[in-house]
Amino acid sequence: MIEDLEWDIDLYLPTQKASARAVADEWMKTCMPVQTNKRKELFNDYLLDFWDWDNSSYIKGKLARKKNSIGKSYVKSNRSWVVRYISPHFKGVYLQEVTADMIERCLLRLHEGGTLNARTINHILQAIRVPLSEAVRLGQLKKNPARPVLNFGVESKEKGILTPKEIEKLLSFEWDDIRIRGAFIVALTGGLRLGEIIGLKHQDILESSIMVCHSYSKMEGLKGTKTGRSREIPLPSSVIRLLRQICALNPKGNDWVFWRDSSKDHPIWDKALMQGFYAALESIGIPNDPSPTPAKGSRQERRISFHSLRHGCNAMLRGTLPDTKLRMVTGHQSIEMSNHYDHLTDFDRSAIIKAQEERLLAGGWENPESKNGSSLFRVGN
């Protein structure tokens, strides 16, 4: 109360406005209870709102500051972690009540359940850590209770790659669908990601190279590349001819290189490309074994996926090309190369194409069109 204030009455004359303001200021500093204006919000509600693609202010802010800085699939995954694994442990808990101990015990229970691996639990922690960090940034919390919580150790296993002999078998293999064959060869020689292959359009095929400007996902459609930058990838003339052949056989009349049979507006399904590739692997002697303990030599035991072609491209060209030139092909981001993706010289193109032909396409792979024509399209999607 005002009578609790200690001030010199000679300095604060009650008849002066300035004195009245000074008394009010002093009372606010010493006697007035702190007003927090912080809305109490259940932690689960906060997380669900945070990972809401259409309404989250965090997501809108990320996209406003940098286009393609966050993706729908990433947001959907985090929201799924919240619904399935986080919410049951935090019922009735308010945002301001969350502690590091609560988060730690939540993660330990998930780990003890035995159904989730360490990598997945770390993803779940990230689905908590990012929203809490934003709450600190915006003044809703003083500190992030998830910050002291440690990640679980993850046993890192390298992605398996095909042997030169297996690549040779696939290059001479009679593929059921020219699109699957084309996607395999583009991934092998150009190191493209699966989404980048699916996102290719007719105008991206140049005289002796392709422009990788987009990626495509089922959830987001056509979007920017993973790094947000376009890159030019030189390719042997035989690969360019194959891509043009695929374009010419497109029955849909659209500009997707890898079209979808059932749609005029969308490109081929990613699953169609992967399943076609895995079927080819089985045909050359790499069996499929999805069991918890896959047999030795199986695709799963060797950790071979469609993405392995990108790893194989990088591994087989490395040493033949300087790392700076190799990054021009794969698009691996680095400080040194961040400003050089779009500046290939004629010498660079020649060196890259020569390496692709000698290290990845040795022996030739252009089978007669009769083996890969439209009569062999048997992959439904």
Q: Tell me the CATH number at 298.
A: 1.10.443.10
Instruction: Tell whether 208 and 352 lie within a shared domain.
Output: yes
Joined together, the tokens standing for residue 274 give: 């992967």
Collapse the DSSP code of 266 into the 3-class scheme (helix H, G, I; strand E, B; otherwise coil) and give the result. Answer: strand
- Report phi then psi at 232, rounded to 5: -100, 130
Residue 35, in any domain of the structure:
no
Cβ neighbour number for residue 364 with a 10 Å cutoff: 10
The one-letter amino acid code at 218 reads K
If we measure between CA atoms, which residue out of 344, 227, 206, 53 comes closest to residue 214? 227
**What pLDDT was estimated at residue 170?**
95
* Candidate ranges 213-227, 287-301, 362-376; pick with highest mean pLDDT: 287-301
**What pLDDT was estimated at residue 301?**
95
Joined together, the tokens standing for residue 365 give: 């792979």
Residue 144, in any domain of the structure:
no
- What would the pLDDT profile of 28-69 be if each residue is shown by its tens digit? 555 544 444 456 899 999 999 999 999 999 999 999 998 878
**What pLDDT was estimated at residue 366?**
56
- In 175-262, where do the E strands start and end? 209-212, 215-217, 221-223, 231-234, 259-260
**What pLDDT was estimated at residue 25?**
65
Residue 69, in any domain of the structure:
yes
- What would the pLDDT profile of 323-342 be if each residue is shown by its tens digit? 665 565 655 554 343 333 33
- Which conformational region is residue 191 in: left (phi greater than 0), alpha (psi within -120 to 50 degrees), or beta? left
Instruction: Tell whether 302 and 372 lie within a shared domain.
Output: yes
Instruction: Tell whether 262 and 353 lie within a shared domain.
Output: yes
Radius of gyration (Cα) for the chain, nearest Å?
29
The one-letter amino acid code at 320 reads T
- What would the pLDDT profile of 190-231 be if each residue is shown by its tens digit? 889 999 999 999 999 999 999 999 999 888 889 888 777 888
Instruction: Tell whether 227 and 118 lie within a shared domain.
Output: no
Instruction: Tell whether 215 and 77 lie within a shared domain.
Output: no
Mean pLDDT of 154-166: 83
**What pLDDT was estimated at residue 374?**
39
Paired with 217 in beta bridges are 221
Among the listed ranges 3-12, 70-79, 124-133, 199-208, which one has the minimum average pLDDT value?
A: 3-12
Alpha carbon distance 131, 146 (integer Å): 10
Residue 24, in any domain of the structure:
no
Alpha carbon distance 224, 346 (integer Å): 26
**What pLDDT was estimated at residue 319?**
60
Instruction: Tell whether 303 and 357 lie within a shared domain.
Output: yes
The alpha carbon torsion through 185, 326, 302, 307 (nearest 10 deg) reads -50
Alpha carbon distance 101, 118 (integer Å): 19
Residue 276, in any domain of the structure:
yes
Collapse the DSSP code of 79 into the 3-class scheme (helix H, G, I; strand E, B; otherwise coil) and give the result. Answer: helix
- What would the pLDDT profile of 111-146 be if each residue is shown by its tens digit? 999 889 999 999 999 999 999 999 999 999 999 999
Alpha carbon distance 175, 279 (integer Å): 10
Instruction: Tell whether 190 and 311 lie within a shared domain.
Output: yes
Mean pLDDT of 230-248: 93
The one-letter amino acid code at 136 reads V
Top-confidence residue, 44 or 375 = 44
Instruction: Tell whether 94 and 214 lie within a shared domain.
Output: no
Instruction: Tell whether 98 and 168 lie within a shared domain.
Output: no
Mean pLDDT of 273-291: 96
CB 301 within 8 A of CB 294: yes
If we measure between CA atoms, which residue out of 149, 368, 103 comes closest to residue 242? 368
Residue 153, in any domain of the structure:
no
**What pLDDT was estimated at residue 158?**
75
**What pLDDT was estimated at residue 94?**
97
CB 206 within 8 A of CB 275: no
Is residue 253 pLDDT above 70, yes or no? yes
Domain span holding position 100? 43-137
Mean pLDDT of 226-238: 86
Joined together, the tokens standing for residue 196 give: 């980048």
What distances in angstroms separate CA 281 from CA 71, 117, 183, 286, one per listed residue? 31, 28, 14, 5
**Mean pLDDT across the chain:** 83
Instruction: Tell whether 123 and 178 lie within a shared domain.
Output: no
Instruction: Tell whether 244 and 339 lie within a shared domain.
Output: yes
Going by their DSSP bridges, the two strands 215-217 and 209-212 should be labelled as unpaired
CB 184 within 8 A of CB 280: yes
Structural domains in the chain (count): 2
* Cα distance between the two ends of the chain: 76
Percent of all residues in the chain with a pLDDT value above 70, rounded to a whole number: 76
Q: How confident is the model at residue 312 (pLDDT cuts 50, 70, 90)?
A: confident
Joined together, the tokens standing for residue 3 give: 């009578």
Place of tokens 């002697």: 285
- CA 161, distance to chain mean position in Å, is 21
Joined together, the tokens standing for residue 104 give: 């730690």
Going by their DSSP bridges, the two strands 259-260 and 209-212 should be labelled as unpaired
Sign, CA dihedral 294-297-300-302, equals positive
Instruction: Tell whether 219 and 170 lie within a shared domain.
Output: yes
**What pLDDT was estimated at residue 58?**
97
Place of tokens 């010419």: 248
